[in-house]
Amino acid sequence: MPTPPKKPQSGSGCLYVLLAVFGLLIALGVFSFSSSISGTEFSPNTFQTRSFTYARIPGTRIRIAPTSIGASTAVVSIDVLKHLPTSNRRQEWHVTSIMGETNVTQGASVLVEALKQRTSDGQDVWGAWSTQHPKSASFFWPLVQQVAFQDLYECIPELLQVAEIEDDPVSLEREALAVVVQTVKERIKRSTEEAQTTELLAWLSGIPVMDTSNSQSLNEAKEDLLKTYRDIAP
């Protein structure tokens, strides 16, 4: 006589349901108490900014939702943008600010805030400067872009101050390069990585210079920086 099939145990079914409900409650709790993180980024490739937003578990770096990226918008007018060289370099985005559990401002914000300056009648300050000083702008903005690529934002305020003071393009180039060299020197003194120092010195050598005397000064500065590194290297 065949054995009758066993009846399903109702207790196991209830357990599965309870576990599913419990898991759903945990998931809802995580989402309810998650931290919403938002901020802005700056691209030195195009001088554009964009916003981003994501959610994560408080006190951790665990993200529980994909990052939402906003549309890119230009920080300055075409009067500045036309001086930026085009290249095949991969587009970079540097965080300018983060808002969430804590509010943090990053180095790139220094450049972004400066580029957003407007006159009393709403005109772009640096766009107007570029129109009035086209030869200076053709050197200055590519230099600022390269400085941003190297994350040397700490020298941006001084560079902009030099641009406001120096009307002569050759003088501007000389003073601007001096600011960059000094910033690189300070970075080298703080750095413990030989690779970073080598990269900075190679980058410094590749900066295009329009005046011969300034080019020679830059080469001399590089040799001085190399000596500085050798003196402090362990």
Per-residue pLDDT of the chain (234 residues; tens, 9 = 90+): 555 555 555 555 666 555 655 555 454 444 444 467 888 999 999 999 999 888 776 666 666 778 888 899 998 899 999 999 987 889 999 999 888 655 566 789 999 999 999 888 888 999 999 999 999 999 999 999 999 999 999 999 999 999 999 999 999 999 999 999 999 888 888 776 777 788 888 888 788 888 788 888 877 887 777 776 666 555
What confidence score (pLDDT) does residue 21 get? 54
- Is residue 43 a contact partner of residue 91, using CB atoms and an 8 Å limit? yes
What confidence score (pLDDT) does residue 230 get? 65
Question: Is the pTM above the cut of 0.85?
Answer: no
User: Phi and psi at residue 45, in whole multiples of 5°?
Assistant: -65, -45
Buried-exposed string 11-48: b where 16+ CB fall within 10 A, e elsewhere: eeeeeeeeeeeeeeeeeeeeeeebeebebbbbbbbbbb
What confidence score (pLDDT) does residue 33 get? 43
What confidence score (pLDDT) does residue 30 get? 45
What confidence score (pLDDT) does residue 42 get? 95
